[in-house]
Structures are given as C-alpha cells and as structure tokens.
Structure 1
C-alpha cells in the first residue's frame, strides 16, 4: 500500500478544503495498522515542509464514541505548531471543512514518557501541570463518513487547538471529578466530568504512551497532550463563540470568524 501517496491525498484535501471519499471505501482492505502508517507518513511530509510536532492528541476516549465506531480503545494523532491558536486568536472557519469543538484537559509534560509499562503514577510524575483547552476537530473525509481507519489516517481528525493561560499543578486537581461546562453563544450545550475520559484523563495519557511504544515514539518533555473530549463535539460556524470552563482551572473562549 502506498502510505505516502494516500497521505498526500489527505494533505491536499486539507489544503484545498475539498474532501475526499472515505479511505475505507477506496481501500476496502485498509487496516488500523495501515492507517497509522499513513498518518505517520503525513506527519513526516508536514515536518519536511517546516512544521514542528508540539504534542499528541487522544481521541475516542468516551464509551459512546467507541461504540459508534465499533472499537474498544482510543486512537491518537499529532499536534503541530501551525495548529495552535493563541488564547483570544479567532479560528478562521474558511480554512476548515466541517469543524467541531471539544473541551479537553491538556497535560503539559516536564519529562519524557515512553512505553511499554507506563502507569497513571508515571503520568503524574512526568506532568508539569494541566491547562484548559479546546480541540477543533475536522475531517478531510466527506461529510464525516468515517470508520476507525479513516480518522486515524487523517491524523485522528485533528485541525486546531487552543490552550488557556492558566496551568495548575496536577497534584492540586482531582482529574476524575473535575467538572467541565461547554457553552456555545452564551448557552450551555454540554457538561461533564473528567472521568468521562477513559475513566481518568491520566489513564488515557498512559494508554497513549504505551500505544506509541509499538512505533518507537515517546511522549517528549515539553509536549502538549490533549487527553480527550469530556463531552460530545459541537458543530462550529462563522460567528459562533465557545466558552469552556473547568472547575479549578478557569475558562477559555474561542470565536470563529
């Protein structure tokens, strides 16, 4: 299978905002392993073009999303420097296809984590602090008609991320019980607690470190790790304003223009 060729198709769709048909329809034998190879090929192309990896994201951490795609574990993607929006910086809707917004907890690492055998305790020791974050997901697959290999190949449907300005030491937070409220245009659209993320957000980070060991990839010191959505993603249009609030972490707002 031409991993680099398929990755190039996805990157062209992203650049032109013209979606492609599901990879699982075009390539019926596409496996999850193939999909990760495609993702990695795409990241290497972006790095060769000057982009820098600044972290990783974990997706499909909720039981509802796993059931929807018929899987029993999360997936992951890469975060690049040109995906990061500064707090207060608007997100340009025209640069995306069908974006959706998620509120997440971001782990900022002070030490490298590399599996196998990484535990929640290891994640706590390696984490400098936690920040509130938005992840803006988008799919280069037409109309979000995705199966698991589609989203994995498409860098886990990553598009943009926004970090809050406040970082709290991980020891000062109960990540299972921390509450989150997501508002859209001044109205509450969803709320939840950290336990919705794989039972514990740090468990999701440990899963990622162990999963990446198969590809000889580590979670590096200084990286941002998005641990997964606390609630369902919300569709975003130009003019929409989102606010996410975490108990003990403060709030973060994002406007689409």
Structure 2
C-alpha cells in the first residue's frame, strides 16, 4: 500500500475502534518507516488530521485544542522532547455534573487541568506569555476525560498523536478568572472521588507553567496554518497523574484560585 493508503486504513481503524468501543493494536507497528517519505510525527499527525477533517465534514463543530504530554517525566518515558495536541469538538463538551456515559467510552481516565478561553486570535509566528494573557478571556478549572483507542493504553508518541492525543470528553468549570489575576504556576490541585484524594499536583507540573504549553500550541498551530481563534477552548495539560475510571461515580477537581469542577460518570 502507498503511504496515503496506510494513513487512510489506520484512520478507519481508529474510527471503528471508537464507534464499536473495541480497542485496536498499536499504530506504531504499522508505520512504514523511511519508505513513507515522512517522519513518524508527520505520519501520526496526518492520521489525526484525516479523522478531524472527517468529523468536520460530518457536521461536527471544532471548539478548541488540547495539549498532551506536558509532563517531562511522561515525555522521557515516551522518548520525545515535545508535547502533542489534539482537537476538541462540541460533542466532547459536558457541563458540570452532566452525566458522561461509560458505555460510550473504552478505557477512560480523568485528569485535572487549567483551561484557557480565548477572546482573540493568536496569529503571530512566535508568541510570548504576554500574547497569551492578552488573547485570553479567562482561565477556568477543567477535567479532561482521556480514552485510548489503543488496547490496554499500550501507547508511544505516534500512537497517541494519531489517536487525537487520546482525547474523549472534557468538562469546564463555571468560575472564570482573568489571567492577570492569577499565578497559574502556584495553583495547587486535588482530584478526588467521594472525598478520597486520588491525584495531587500544581500548575508548575504542566511544562513548568501552563502558559508554556499555550505558547507552544499557539506557535505550532500558526506553523500548520490553523491558528487558534477567538472562542477556542485550550486545555493546557494535566496538573497531576491521571486516574482510571472503572465504574460510575463523580470526580471532583479543586484548583486553587479557580474553584472546582466535577465530572460525573453514569453506566
């Protein structure tokens, strides 16, 4: 098969895995290598973009981006030196306490994050913290529900990138705080269920500062010709370890200065 045919076949495989709730094998095993004329990263993003384009053509609405692999320890584990990104669609968004059906997911996990809501486009070739602050309407507490279409979460960089950065659902809190009024690095986080704390972290765990992640994403999107736009939601990355969701229940993320947000799972 040609490289384009391999990309289409893998994109189809991931679509089927998601729609049938049946995970597939690692994508990296199907990378053609040097014969493809592409790097592994380019190959993975080509798969992701094909499925993103398909969803848009089917009528889904793109509402932002998520940033993944913002932990240096996880980057080292996967042998990479950069984060990754995925697309967020309106169909992924859930309100605080709006039930998320486990029956629609495969092997979900939750992580607490800081989300930015943009008020202005980010179109410079190289952005600064000041650019991000000026373009952002607010920061809010968020929970991202990640879900791998790869069996047993057996992923490397190429696998999660192709799989839309393992994105699935997200919940945004109600308290909106201007970036000028908060130090994101100092935001302590706890993620709990029924009062039991399952994960702890802080803003500094996200590439040292969630704004570092936002700058990286803004630059990358301009490079790709798809800059971040006013109204976009940006999930800047996990503040602490992920927590597996194996049964119905409610997970509460509390982030200093941003309040709380709850993700509730039903059968």
Q: Give the TM-score range, shorter chain.
A: over 0.9
Alignment partner of 1:42 is 2:51: yes
Aligned residues: 257
Matches within 5 A, 1:26-105: 26-27=30-31, 29=33, 31-105=40-114
Aligned pair 1:171/2:180, yes or no? Answer: yes
Question: Using the alignment, how far apart are the partners of 1:18 and 1:100 within structure 2?
Answer: 16
SS of 1:256's equivalent?
Answer: strand
2:10 aligns to what?
6
Contact 1:115 1:212 in 2 (8 A): no
Instruction: Write the mapping of 1:55-204 to structure 2, written as runs, cut at 5 A.
Output: 55-204=64-213
* 2:242 corresponding residue in structure 1: 233
Q: 1:212, 1:200 → 2: CA distance?
A: 19
User: 2 CA distance for matches of 1:157 and 1:146?
Assistant: 10
- Answer whether contact 1:237 1:256 (CA < 8 A) is retained: no
Alignment partner of 1:20 is 2:24? yes
Instruction: Give how far 1:187 is off.
Output: 0.3
- Partners of 1:143 and 1:117 lie apart in 2 by 38
CA distance in 1, matches of 2:163, 2:123: 24
**Displacement over 3 Å in runs of 4+:** none
Normalised TM-score (structure 2): 0.93
Deviations 1:207-252 (A, max 9, x none): 0011122311101100000000000100002223210001111111
Q: Deviations over 1:146-188 (max 9, x none)?
A: 1101100100000000001111111110111111111123201
Q: SS where residue 59 of structure 2 aligns?
A: coil
Unaligned runs of 5+ in 1: none
